[in-house]
Amino acid sequence: MASQKLLLLPGDGIGPEIMPEVKKVISWFNENGGMSFETEEGLVGGSAYDAHGQSISEEDMAKAMAADAVIFGAVGGPKWDDVPYEVRPEAGLLRLRKDMQLFANLRPAICYPALADASSLKKDIIEGLDILIVRELTGGVYFGEPKEITDLGNGQKRGVDTQVYDTYEIERISKVAFELARTRNNKVTSMEKRNVMKSGVLWNEVVTQTHGNGYQDVELEHMLADAGGMQLVRWPKQFDVIVTDNLFGDMLSDVAAMLTGSLGMLPSASLGAPDEATGKRKALYEPVHGSAPDIAGTGAANPIAMIASFGMALRYSFEEVEAADKLDKAIAVALDKGLRTKDIASEGQATVSTSEMGDAIVAELSALSA
Ligand SMILES: NC(=O)c1ccc[n+]([C@@H]2O[C@H](COP(=O)([O-])OP(=O)(O)OC[C@H]3O[C@@H](n4cnc5c(N)ncnc54)[C@H](O)[C@@H]3O)[C@@H](O)[C@H]2O)c1
Ligand SMILES: CC(C)[C@H](C(=O)O)[C@@H](O)C(=O)O
Ligand SMILES: [Mg+2]
């Protein structure tokens, strides 16, 4: 394999604690899997702000644009609560998504067999769960203009965010959802709120039209997003692929995370469109969770979402499907053997630290290759 450039952006809080664990996995694939990843590190979020007053520097942005994939930890935390909105830690992540045009965010929620008991939900609801949330990532209320707080002059202020979607944005994300559904259980559920939002009416219309233009072999259903949240907790196995907008996707994926046992279990891939000449996509891989300030520095962070995000890089950026399957298997075996970070431990169960979990997964990679 030709050498591939990875830009590692650990970020803040538990970000710098889980990144070393994925580095162990990358080294393992370099040394034992015939791969040739070159890594470089940069700053993002609060750590970038502390270093140079921006949540990502122009230099690191340029490195991200040039990388074969960006591996991102997490950003944010109370330390930066009072920094200006434009340079808050989260702005660095949003800029990466927007400038790299990473419109398709894939958030798989898989309940590993060993964790079917870890959830507060009944076992039959989550056992064997395997759903995929396809979240639109570069549009909607996150980026729509105007976005402002104005002074109304009478002691009142007005906060404004604008939800905007154009046809092309809805069409391209629904195509991603239909294509992925074909590789899975062939069903797409589109979620919006067409009963309240004009953008929801258009979303529903465009998803239906796109379905009619060559995807009729895939089952399509529409659901109001609030009811979708309820159904996700009531009987999540009714879903295969869920396609939804930026904000609903953010919220529904945190809900889905808890079906798998913990936010620390959910990886994600953020993908751009394939380049017309080379077919390569820009891509960023990150756990769904944040910087977890409440546990940062305690060694309790679960590195599985981070490691599984690299697994998604193997699958979606490097076409290393066998390696990605092996990594998923190594995670499953480590869990089968009873290894648990605190967030996925049942009451009274022994726990391991962040780095012990990383070491165990690497050991299982070696065992699977023996
Ligand atoms: N992609 C990102 O960088 C990202 C995503 C979400 C939130 N954030 C930011 O993170 C900061 C904290 O946000 P929050 O507390 O609402 O959400 P969070 O995801 O950081 O934490 C929510 C809860 O889940 C737990 N948790 C999260 N990841 C875990 C892991 N790997 N292992 C074990 N437990 C884990 C935390 O301890 C916490 O109790 C905020 O500044 C927010 O903006 C960043
Ligand atoms: C940190 C924040 C900007 C981000 C989002 O809202 O998209 C996070 O919650 C996520 O889920 O990736
Ligand atoms: Mg979120």
- Measured between alpha carbons, how far is residue 233 from residues 127, 191, 227, 250, 298 in Å? 13, 15, 10, 16, 31
Question: What is the atom index within ligand 1 of the atom nearest the CA of 89?
Answer: 41
Kindly list the strands in the beta sheet with 283-285, ordered across the sheet, starting from the edge strand earlier in the chain. 37-41, 4-11, 69-74, 283-285, 269-271, 104-110, 130-136, 241-244, 187-192, 219-224
Q: Would you say 340 is a known binding-site residue?
A: no
Q: Would you say 78 is a known binding-site residue?
A: yes
Question: What predicted TM-score, i.e. pTM, was given to this entire model?
Answer: 0.97
**Local structure of residue 266 (DSSP, 8 states):** -
CA distance 81 to 49: 12
Report whether residue 250 contacts ligand 2, using a CB cutoff of 6 Å: yes
Q: Which ligand approaches the C-alpha of residue 102 most closely? A: 2
Question: What is the atom index within ligand 2 of the atom nearest the CA of 246?
Answer: 7
Mutation test residue for ligand 1: of 9, 263, 298, 357, the one with most atoms within 8 Å of CB: 263
**Local structure of residue 121 (DSSP, 8 states):** S
Amino acid 184: pLDDT: 98
Q: Give the distance (Å) from ligand 3 centre to CA of residue 346.
A: 25
Mutation test residue for ligand 2: of 9, 56, 93, the one with most atoms within 8 Å of CB: 93
Q: Give the distance (Å) from ligand 2 centre to CA of residue 250.
A: 6
Amino acid 122: pLDDT: 85
Amino acid 119: pLDDT: 72
DSSP codes, 277-305: TT----EEE--SS---TTTTTTT----HH
Q: Would you say 296 is a known binding-site residue?
A: yes
Q: Which one, of 333, 256, 300, 258, lies nearest residue 18 by Cα? A: 300
Helix (H) or strand (E) holding 273: none
Q: Which ligand approaches the C-alpha of residue 247 most closely? A: 2
Amino acid 347: pLDDT: 85
CA distance 359 to 339: 11
Q: Would you say 185 is a known binding-site residue?
A: no
Amino acid 117: pLDDT: 77
Question: What is the atom index within ligand 2 of the atom nearest the CA of 268?
Answer: 12
Question: Which residues participate in catalysis according to the annotation?
Answer: 142, 193, 226, 250, 254
User: In the structure, which protein residues have their CB atom closer than 6 angstroms to any atom of ligand 1?
Assistant: 14, 74-77, 90, 93, 262-264, 286, 289-295, 301-302, 305, 343
CA R_g for the chain: 20
Of how many residues is the chain composed? Answer: 370
Ligand 2, atom 6: nearest CA belongs to which residue?
250
Q: Would you say 245 is a known binding-site residue?
A: no
Do the Cβ atoms of 206 and 169 come closer than 8 Å? Answer: no
Per-residue burial over 212-222, b if 16 or more Cβ lie within 10 Å, else e, is: eeebeebebeb
Q: Work out the burial of residue 348: count CB atoms within 10 Å of its CB; fewer than 13 is exposed, 13-18 middle, 19 or more buried.
A: exposed
Ligand 2, atom 1: nearest CA belongs to which residue?
90
- ipTM surpassing 0.85: yes
CA distance 7 to 70: 5
Question: What is the atom index within ligand 2 of the atom nearest the CA of 97?
Answer: 7
Report whether residue 256 contacts ligand 2, using a CB cutoff of 6 Å: no
Q: Which ligand approaches the C-alpha of residue 245 most closely? A: 2
Q: What is the mean pLDDT of each run of 10 residues along the chain (370 residues)?
A: 92 98 98 96 98 98 98 98 97 98 98 84 90 98 98 97 98 98 98 98 98 98 98 96 98 92 94 94 97 98 98 97 98 97 93 98 96
Amino acid 1: pLDDT: 62
